[in-house]
């Protein structure tokens, strides 16, 4: 049994609240660590340390801050296997998937190395007689992020890398379900040369979250998780005068046109629907074939692929397709929703109920499920299941198919598979969803573009990473300066106007 810590002012610090959460090995169901849950006083102390450290870090020129991130990238590559193993042990992902989690965070750090260019302001000389005007992008101060269990490496780096590159201090409140990798990332940042206190990691639950939300020192909050909590954090943070960006739930549709390459579409759906046991906000959970003939062809391609999926612990090798879900509660919720689909009349084509793995009977494994003839009124269609469950909703026309995605309350990601450029172009232009794939099932943008959904999948007006991150973590200050060329007498008492 391991007792985990916080990371405060450049070192691991034991919790003092007397409260903790169990960290499970999802493959065995065993408790492998205890994670301290911070009190408000502990969070306040971390914030105070960050506030003390931030001015000197902000005064460090952007190029030197970028060099710390450059070294951090080198250390991430050095420790990639160690980070992936720790991530898999607490989350349940396969090792290749865990390494991908780290890699997609690393790519954002690489982008942030360009901070000296990205932080450049604007300048106008001779805006008036002897007057110059210029703008500066300056850090907010102390910023914070609340990150989910499903990407314990990637999403923390999506937040703290741009925040630090801009000269802010950052308080990270990671998920208490898999907190080891965030602590390891903080250690690597210190090894890279980050000054003590600039990055703090505080483990906790709602008490820690509320302490961040109500702190007068914390200037911004980032969040990724469920929509109800995103709405709460957004409303509370904004009411307290903070800049807030929150990313919530998803129900991602993939439309399959009659002219699509059906093998390609089936392969894409299996990877996007069942990878990471479906615990991705960009997972495809709804397939929408257009026409019954298309649906029948697609189902016939999907079934044998799904039945061949290899489920197991990350220790079983790199050919495992997906592992367990993160907790027993998550498993129970998935099984409840699957049963609701059966009860409400959906056709369970691939039945993963009762899946058990020899030697891992206490693990949180869930078998792969495929539903056909799902309708809009069913719970499995309306709810984000966050498990290895793919629902097929048959549409008779393209207009009906696109309407399904557009009418759903979530708008995170979507995709269309077709050989027709006009259809793809129409889909990309009309769809009211933030990230769109054309023959790409999981359209997560690369680091130099921005990531973000629409509708109830997002709260706030700026996306994650890319140029938006540098807008989110800075304020613009505009300076108007006059340097008279000669001695001027008298004052001016009317508002200056252009002559």
| Average pLDDT for the chain | 96
pLDDT value, residue 330: 97
pLDDT at 225: 96
Q: Which run of H or of E encompasses 20?
A: strand 20-25
Q: Does pLDDT of 490 surpass 80?
A: no
Predicted confidence (pLDDT) at residue 11 exceeds the cutoff of 70: yes
Q: How many residues does the chain have?
A: 499
pLDDT in tens, 124-163: 998 888 899 999 999 999 999 999 999 999 999 999 999 9
Note the pLDDT tens digit of each residue in 330-383: 999 999 999 999 999 999 999 999 999 999 999 999 999 999 999 999 999 999
Q: What DSSP designation does 316 have?
A: G
pLDDT at 19 > cutoff 90: yes
Catalytic residue among 35, 112, 166, 281: 281
Give the tens place of pLDDT for each residue, 76-90: 999 999 999 999 999
pLDDT at 488 over 60: no
Annotated catalytic residue 281 = yes
495 pLDDT tier (thresholds 50, 70, 90): confident
pLDDT at 498: 60
Count of CB atoms within 10 A of residue 79's CB? 18
CATH 3.40.309.10 residue window(s) in the chain? 252-438
User: Three-state SS for 133?
Assistant: strand
> For residue 487, what pLDDT is reported?
59
CATH number among 3.40.309.10, 3.90.79.10, 3.40.50.11810, 3.40.50.300, domain 252-438: 3.40.309.10
Whole-prediction pTM: 0.94
Closest CA to 398 of 381, 418, 372: 418
Q: Is the pLDDT confidence value at 199 over 80?
A: yes
Q: Per DSSP, what are the bridge partners of residue 223?
A: 146, 246
Fold classification of 2-248+457-479 (topology level): Aldehyde Dehydrogenase; Chain A, domain 1 (3.40.605)
Question: For the chain, where do the domains classified as CATH 3.40.605.10 start and end?
Answer: 2-248+457-479
Is the pLDDT at 431 greater than 90? The verdict is: yes
Span 32-46, average pLDDT: 98
């Amino acid at each position: 049994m391991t007792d985990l810590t916080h990371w405060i002012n450049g070192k691991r610090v034991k919790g003092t609240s007397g409260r903790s959460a169990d960290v499970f090995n999802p493959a065995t169901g065993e408790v492998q660590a205890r994670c301290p849950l911070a009190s408000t006083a502990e969070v306040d102390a971390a914030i105070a340390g960050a506030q003390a450290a931030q001015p000197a870090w902000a005064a460090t020129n952007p190029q030197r801050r970028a060099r710390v991130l450059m070294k951090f990238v080198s250390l991430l590559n050095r420790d990639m296997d160690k980070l992936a193993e720790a991530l898999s042990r607490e989350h349940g992902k396969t090792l290749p998937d865990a390494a991908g989690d780290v890699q997609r965070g690393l790519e954002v750090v690489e982008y942030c190395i360009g901070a000296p260019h990205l932080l450049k302001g604007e300048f106008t000389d001779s805006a008036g007689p002897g007057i110059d005007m210029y703008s500066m992008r300056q850090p907010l101060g102390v910023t914070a992020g609340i990150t989910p269990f499903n990407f314990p490496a990637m999403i923390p780096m999506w937040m703290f890398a741009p925040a630090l590159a801009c000269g802010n201090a950052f308080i990270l409140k990671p998920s208490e379900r898999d907190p080891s990798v965030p602590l390891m990332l903080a250690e690597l940042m210190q090894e890279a040369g980050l000054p003590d206190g600039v990055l703090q990691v505080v483990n906790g639950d709602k008490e820690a979250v509320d302490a961040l939300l109500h702190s007068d020192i914390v200037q911004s909050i980032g969040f990724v998780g469920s929509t109800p909590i995103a709405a709460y954090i957004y409303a509370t943070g904004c009411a307290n005068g903070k800049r807030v960006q929150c990313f919530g739930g998803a129900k991602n549709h993939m439309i399959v046109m009659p002219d699509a390459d059906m093998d390609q579409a089936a392969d894409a759906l299996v990877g996007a629907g069942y990878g990471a046991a479906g615990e991705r906000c960009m997972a495809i959970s709804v397939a929408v074939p257009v026409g019954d003939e298309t649906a029948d062809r697609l189902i016939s391609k999907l079934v044998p692929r799904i039945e061949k999926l290899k489920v197991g612990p990350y220790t079983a090798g790199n050919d495992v397709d997906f592992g367990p879900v993160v907790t027993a509660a998550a498993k129970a919720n998935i099984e409840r929703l699957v049963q609701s689909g059966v009860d409400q009349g959906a056709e369970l084509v691939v039945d993963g109920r009762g899946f058990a793995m020899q030697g891992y009977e206490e693990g949180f494994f869930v078998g792969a499920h495929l539903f056909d003839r799902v309708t809009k009124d069913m719970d499995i269609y309306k709810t984000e299941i966050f498990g290895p469950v793919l629902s097929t909703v048959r549409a008779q026309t393209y207009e009906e198919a696109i309407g399904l995605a557009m009418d759903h309350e979530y708008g995170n990601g979507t995709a269309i598979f077709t050989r027709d450029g006009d259809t793809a172009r129409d889909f990309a232009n009309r769809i009211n969803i933030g990230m769109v794939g054309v023959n790409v099932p999981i359209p997560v943008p690369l680091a130099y573009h921005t990531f973000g959904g629409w509708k109830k999948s997002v709260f706030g007006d700026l996306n994650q990473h890319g140029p938006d991150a540098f807008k989110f973590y800075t304020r613009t200050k505009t300076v108007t300066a006059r340097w008279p060329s000669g001695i001027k007498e008298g004052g001016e008492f009317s508002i200056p106007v252009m002559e």
